[in-house]
Amino acid sequence: MQRNEMPSGALVLLILRVLRSGPLHGYAIAQRIHALSADALRVEEGSLYPALQKILRKGWVTAAWGTSDTNRKVRFYKLTRDGMKQLEAEASQYDRQTKAIQAVLRTA
Amino acid sequence: MRLRELLRRIHYLLNRRRFDDELAEEMAFHREMAEESGGVPLGNALRLREDSREAWGFMWIDRLGQDVRYVFRGMRTSPGFTAAAVLVLAIGIGATVAAFSAFNMVALRPLPVRDPDTILWFQRHAPERTVSAVPYPAVAFYREHTRTLSAVLAMTAAQVSVEGAEQPLSAFFVTANFFDELGPRAAHGRLLGVADEKPDATPAVVLGHGFWASHFGSDPSVVGTSVRINGKAATIVGVVAREFSGLAGDTPAFWALLERHGYFVHGSRLLTDFSSGVGMWGRLGPGVSAQMAEDELAILAAELRRQHPSDIWEGERLLSAPGGYPPLIGATSIFALVGALVLLILAAACGNLGSLLLARGASRQREIALRSAIGAGPGRLIRQLFTESLVLAMMGCLGGLVLGSLVLKGIMIWTDAPVWLDPTPDWRVVTFAVAIGFLSSVFFGLAPALQIARQTQRKTFGRTLLIGVQVASSCVLLIVAGLLTRAGERAASTDPGFEYEHVIVVELSLAEHGYTAARARSYIQDLSVRLRGIAGVEDVSVTSTPPLGGLTITALLQLDGRTLAVFIHQVDPQYLATMKIPLLRGRNLIDGDERSVVVSESLARRKWPDQDPLGQPFKIGDETLTVVGIAGNARSLAIRDPEAVELYRLAREADLTGLAVVARIAGATEALAPAFSAAANAVDPNFKPQVQLLKDQFDQSVRDIESGALAVSLLGVIALAVACLGVIGLVAYSVAQRTKEIGIRLALGAESRHILRSLAIQFQGTIIGGLVAGVLGAAGLAQLLRRELYGLSTIDPIAYISAIVLFLFAVGLAALWPARRALRVDPMVALRCD
């Protein structure tokens, strides 16, 4: 079992990012992150659902029931306008931070 | 942003069940999909779901719900423990709640009048003196000129004689705006107002509710009838509602207008004279502070002084105090004392409950071990155990509120408290009860919870402390009860130094009936002659301060840096003989002897320990008198103070209207009282003085101390019972814990007394420590008590020793009962058990 623990802030950022292209259900979010990271990041239930509840509470996404590809009733998460703003803010902050860290790593 | 988040959380809270079901379904779907694609499910599904729900921050409600449900389930399985715990706690909390409600009722709650917070009560004040009576002409001047006060109210009390009533009755004379400003309801008819002030209006009075009920049998048809007050006709126009308190916290038989004082009281100069005064209140105008009102009135007083230089003092100002609250004079130390006593009961109850919980914790060791084995951390365990205490505390709190209110209601009925005092618990009382409940749950529940959760049963420190608290607090209560009982006995048994069995007092209040000094002199002479003519009357004399009458005149004497209050009796030469107070040395006062004084033996000893008191000068105010005689000690004005000192001088012209007549009778006093009333009626049919048997007043003052002692004894017995319960529990627990050891010792041939001694040694430190703390506490409390009760000795060895013996006896018995079980231990059984 490989454990790629990521800070919860980063997980929220990734969730918001994959939802930008359209509503997804929980399992699909995990799959999408897994696929997009070239199988490097695995999102477990234990961290995904608490993070989803948190961003629901924050109002960055809304949840609505729909039907999955496999014709099952499932909850889809959709990015809200607040969520979009939050994504932009967090993404640019993350950008700045990684650039700064890389700068240190490169020169030190 | 924050607000919307809060709304979302509330929405979640309200639809929690649906949200949780949806989450469960969603996560089940996730799991299925993961398994289909060959993943392995990780972790406990329930646990994961709880973690997700944690994001909303409402999990504590679930946990609290679980804990509370668990507590109630546990209570159902041990109803005996639950009942005992709630009862002990209800007693402890109930005592504090009753005391606090009483305090709340008389000190924190305003009087039931309109806008009580804007009413101020005024007193005259100059650098040297403070007087509560303000001359009516000054009140009228302030009322006319003030801009800070929207209304000025005045009131004065008087005793009036009413046709058909044997005893004089009380009347309050108030300004015409009084009822309008304070807004009481009329139970019947109408109240007095500005219209009654007109000179041509028929003189009207309003009845107090209590008097209307007791005297007219609550008959509404009395409204409109006429009544003769001090011989003057007046119409009863209404009855004031029962719940009206007035501003003095007391309600009279009659309310009349102050502007009519001259009509009802013959020769009254109250409205025109600066020498007398009335009570003055004011209502603050909108946006005005008390300080602004005081400042303005100081300026007005200075202006009035220019017009009346001799009547208004130099630098006079009016001091304000909140007027919408019951007047509390000198009651704070009583409340401090009662507070200390009830907190002791609460401490004993909490200590007791704490040890009960610990003992119960011991028997729950298995359950706790199991719970911690399946993953409950110490935090979770403490929270659950503390929830138990909290639930107990809240049940005890409810019981305490009910019990406390009932006790308070009972006390109010018993002591005949004013009807406008409302004992129903208000938000303050409920808040107080809940706070006390919470604090006591911390006190009795937290230590056991910590100890149980940590599984450190062997450490008995917490237990020892809890027992020590119970021992100390019950000990304090017992000792104080003993001190009070002894003080009561002493007051009843020692000779007060004057005759009280065979004396009748006629309280005259001539000044209030408008008598001048000359008329008073002839009234008293006439009455004395008539009284002497009654068969059985041995002696008649006068005094300005009748024995045990509550009125005292004192001179303050500086002796060795201490202030000594000397009770001054203004009498006639016959007084000492009438009251059978012996003249020990020198001579008695004689008529016209205004510069002489007879001092009590106690005063002579205090003031001139090494000199002959006879012939010594004695200063009272600006006068210097000469000591001519020494009389025996007679505590007629301070029955409870064995150290009281007094002196006797002649009553002068100015004292005549304030005198009372005392008479000594040969036989029983009861039979002669009607003859005395008849004699007074023959002198002036419009004026009925109060005829009292001195014996009744003496018995009453002894009863006051005795009922105080009884009440504290009751508290002491409750605390003792609670402490005994605690000791039984403690010894029983210790025996249970040491069964194996005792078994071994018995098997090896130890005798019963050895076993008992080994048990006793374990607790002697706690008991002795508690006793020492208790004795010290009691000595401290006795100091506080002494300020109220002079007869109380702070170092009364009999009270201390008997309380300690009683305590040890009761606790010893309580300990022996469970200890017997230790002796019946069968060594074989004890060794076989784990």
Return the amino acid letter for B52: S
Residues belonging to chain B with any Cβ–Cβ distance to chain A shorter than 8 Å: 1, 4-5, 8-9, 12, 22-23, 25-27, 29-31, 33-34, 40, 42-43, 48-49, 51-56
Residue of B nearest to A75 (CA): B26
Residue of B nearest to A59 (CA): B5
Would you call B42 and A45 a contact, using CB atoms and an 8 Å cutoff?
Answer: yes
Q: Residue A7: pLDDT band by 50, 70, 90 thresholds?
A: low
pLDDT at B580: 92
How does pLDDT run across B672-687, given as a tens digit for each residue? Answer: 888 888 898 888 887 7
Which residue among B654, B678, B698 closes a domain?
Answer: B698
- The CATH number of the domain where A78 resides is what? 1.10.10.10
Q: Which position has the token pair 């365990």?
A: B381
Closest partner residue to B56 among A44, A53, A82, by Cβ? Answer: A53
Q: How large is the average pLDDT for residues A24-34?
A: 86
Least reliable range by pLDDT among B187-201, B384-398, B782-796, B804-818? B782-796
Residues of B whose CB is below 8 A from A57: 5, 8-9, 12, 55-56
Helix (H, G, I), strand (E, B) or coil at B5: helix
A50 CB near a chain B CB, below 8 Å?
Answer: yes
Nearest to B392 by CA among B76, B719, B71, B97: B71
Would you call B5 and A57 a contact, using CB atoms and an 8 Å cutoff?
Answer: yes
Most confidently modeled range among B257-271, B393-407, B447-461, B484-498: B393-407
Would you call B8 and A30 a contact, using CB atoms and an 8 Å cutoff?
Answer: no
Other Cβ atoms less than 10 A from the Cβ of B213: the count is 16
Would you call A49 and B48 a contact, using CB atoms and an 8 Å cutoff?
Answer: yes
pLDDT at B833: 59
A67 CB near a chain B CB, below 8 Å?
Answer: no
Residues of B whose CB is below 8 A from A51: 55
Chain A: give the shortest CA distance to residue B381, in Å.
Answer: 25
How does pLDDT run across B453-470, given as a tens digit for each residue? Answer: 665 555 566 667 777 888
| Burial class (CB within 10 angstroms; exposed 0-12, middle 13-18, buried 19+) of B77 | exposed
Q: How large is the average pLDDT for residues B796-806?
A: 83
Measure the CA angle with vertex B503, ends B498 and B504; round to 5°: 140
Residue of A nearest to B22 (CA): A75
Same domain, B40 and B179: no
Q: Residue B790: pLDDT band by 50, 70, 90 thresholds?
A: low
- Above pLDDT 70, what percent of chain B? 93
- Does residue A14 lie within any of the structural domains? yes
> For chain A, what is the domain count?
1
Pairing of strands B232-240, B204-207: parallel
| Interchain CB contacts (distance < 8 Å): A and B | 67
What is the interface pTM, i.e. ipTM, of the complex?
0.80
Chain A: give the shortest CA distance to residue B93, in Å.
Answer: 43
Most confidently modeled range among A12-26, B256-270, B296-310, B544-558: B296-310
What is the domain range of residue A85? Answer: 8-107
Other Cβ atoms less than 10 A from the Cβ of B757: the count is 12
Q: What gap in Å lies between CA B109 and CA B358, rounded to an integer?
A: 41
Q: What gap in Å lies between CA B19 and CA B40, rounded to an integer?
A: 26
pLDDT at B589: 92
Chain B: give the shortest CA distance to residue A30, in Å.
Answer: 9
Handedness of CA B365, B368, B372, B373 (dihedral sign): positive
- Above pLDDT 90, what percent of chain A? 0
- Does residue A48 lie within any of the structural domains? yes
Half-sphere exposure of B98 (CA within 13 A, CB side): 25
Q: Which position has the token pair 């039979």?
A: B671
- Does residue B666 lie within any of the structural domains? yes
Would you call A30 and B30 a contact, using CB atoms and an 8 Å cutoff?
Answer: yes
Note the residue count of chain A: 108
Residues of B whose CB is below 8 A from A54: 55
pLDDT at A1: 38
Q: Residue B239: pLDDT band by 50, 70, 90 thresholds?
A: very high
Q: Residue A51: pLDDT band by 50, 70, 90 thresholds?
A: confident
Chain B: give the shortest CA distance to residue A46, in Å.
Answer: 5
Residue of B nearest to A3 (CA): B42
Closest partner residue to B30 among A27, A70, A73, by Cβ? Answer: A27
How does pLDDT run across B580-613, given as a tens digit for each residue? Answer: 999 999 999 998 888 999 999 999 998 898 889 9
Cα(first)–Cα(last) distance of chain B, in Å?
A: 63
A85 CB near a chain B CB, below 8 Å?
Answer: no
B483 neighbors B423 (Cβ within 8 angstroms): no
Q: Residue A3: pLDDT band by 50, 70, 90 thresholds?
A: very low
Chain B: give the shortest CA distance to residue A18, in Å.
Answer: 17
> For chain B, what is the domain count?
3
Whether residue A17 has pLDDT greater than 60: yes
Would you call B30 and A57 a contact, using CB atoms and an 8 Å cutoff?
Answer: no
In sequence order, which residues have a C-beta less than 8 Å from that of residue B94 and are 6 or more positions away?
B399, B400, B401, B402, B403, B404, B407
Residue of B nearest to A48 (CA): B52
Residues of A whose CB is below 8 A from B51: 46, 49-50
Residues of B whose CB is below 8 A from A74: 26, 29
Interface test with A, best of B20, B23, B33 (most A CBs within 10 A): B33
pLDDT at B471: 81
Which residue among B18, B40, B57 closes a domain?
Answer: B57
Residues of B whose CB is below 8 A from A44: 42
Residue A79 has phi, psi (to 5 degrees) of -70, 135
Handedness of CA B71, B75, B78, B80 (dihedral sign): positive
Q: How large is the average pLDDT for residues A3-28?
A: 80
Residues of B whose CB is below 8 A from A72: 29
Same domain, B138 and B50: no
Return the amino acid letter for B42: L
pLDDT at B177: 93
Residue of B nearest to A65 (CA): B22
DSSP B437-487: HHHHHIIIIIHHHHHHHTT-TT--HHHHHHHHHHHHHHHHHHHHHHHHHHH
Most confidently modeled range among B84-88, B291-295, B424-428: B291-295
Q: Residue B648: pLDDT band by 50, 70, 90 thresholds?
A: very high
Q: Which residue has the higher pLDDT, B478 or B239?
A: B239
- Does residue A1 lie within any of the structural domains? no
B657 neighbors B517 (Cβ within 8 angstroms): yes
Closest partner residue to B29 among A27, A48, A50, by Cβ? Answer: A27
- Does residue B282 lie within any of the structural domains? yes
Whether residue B757 has pLDDT greater than 60: yes
In sequence order, which residues have a C-beta less than 8 Å from that of residue B644 and are 6 or more positions away?
B567, B602, B633, B635, B637, B638, B790
Q: What is the mean pLDDT of chain B?
A: 83
Same domain, B669 and B528: yes
pLDDT at B794: 65
Chain B: give the shortest CA distance to residue A42, in Å.
Answer: 11
Whether residue B756 has pLDDT greater than 90: no
Q: What gap in Å lies between CA B167 and CA B534, rounded to an integer?
A: 20
Same domain, B546 and B682: yes
Q: Which position has the token pair 């005149």?
A: B553
Residue of A nearest to B10 (CA): A57
pLDDT at B782: 80
Same domain, B132 and B42: no
What is the domain range of residue B7? Answer: 2-57
Q: Which two tokens stand for residue B296?
A: 């303005």
If you count DSSP H runs as helices and E runs as strands, how many of each does chain B have, helices first?
25, 22
Q: What gap in Å lies between CA B591 and CA B464, rounded to an integer?
A: 73
Same domain, B583 and B653: yes
pLDDT at A4: 53
Q: How large is the average pLDDT for residues B345-365?
A: 78
- Does residue B628 lie within any of the structural domains? yes
pLDDT at B294: 93
- Does residue B133 lie within any of the structural domains? yes
Closest partner residue to B51 among A46, A70, A73, by Cβ? Answer: A46
pLDDT at B280: 93
How does pLDDT run across B91-139, given as a tens digit for each residue? Answer: 889 988 988 888 888 778 888 888 988 999 998 888 767 778 899 999 9
Q: How large is the average pLDDT for residues B61-65?
A: 79
Whether residue B165 has pLDDT greater than 80: no
A54 CB near a chain B CB, below 8 Å?
Answer: yes
- Does residue B83 lie within any of the structural domains? no
Residues of B whose CB is below 8 A from A69: none
Same domain, B518 and B662: yes
Least reliable range by pLDDT among B133-142, B459-468, B546-555, B639-648? B459-468
Q: Which two tokens stand for residue B519?
A: 């008329």
Q: CA torsion B649→B653→B655→B661, rounded to 10°?
A: 80
Please report which residue ranges of B190-260 form alpha helices under DSSP H.
209-216
Interface test with A, best of B4, B26, B50 (most A CBs within 10 A): B26
Chain A: give the shortest CA distance to residue B60, in Å.
Answer: 16
pLDDT at B42: 65
Whether residue B347 has pLDDT greater than 90: no
A22 CB near a chain B CB, below 8 Å?
Answer: no
Least reliable range by pLDDT among A53-67, B78-92, B546-560, B623-637? B546-560
Which residue among B295, B322, B349 closes a domain?
Answer: B322
Would you call A27 and B12 a contact, using CB atoms and an 8 Å cutoff?
Answer: no
Half-sphere exposure of B679 (CA within 13 A, CB side): 25
Nearest to B279 by CA among B183, B191, B175: B175
Q: Bridge-partner residues for B173, per DSSP?
A: B156, B256
Same domain, B130 and B38: no
Q: What gap in Å lies between CA B535 and CA B551, rounded to an integer?
A: 30
Q: Which residue has the higher pLDDT, B279 or B709?
A: B279
Q: Which residue has the higher pLDDT, B690 or B542?
A: B542
Q: What gap in Å lies between CA B32 and CA B40, rounded to an integer?
A: 10
Same domain, B47 and B130: no
Nearest to B285 by CA among B107, B149, B442: B149
Residues of B whose CB is below 8 A from A8: none
pLDDT at A2: 44
Q: Bridge-partner residues for B204, per DSSP?
A: B235
- Does residue A2 lie within any of the structural domains? no
Q: How large is the average pLDDT for residues B260-279?
A: 84
Least reliable range by pLDDT among B242-256, B370-384, B541-555, B728-742? B728-742
Residue of B nearest to A68 (CA): B29
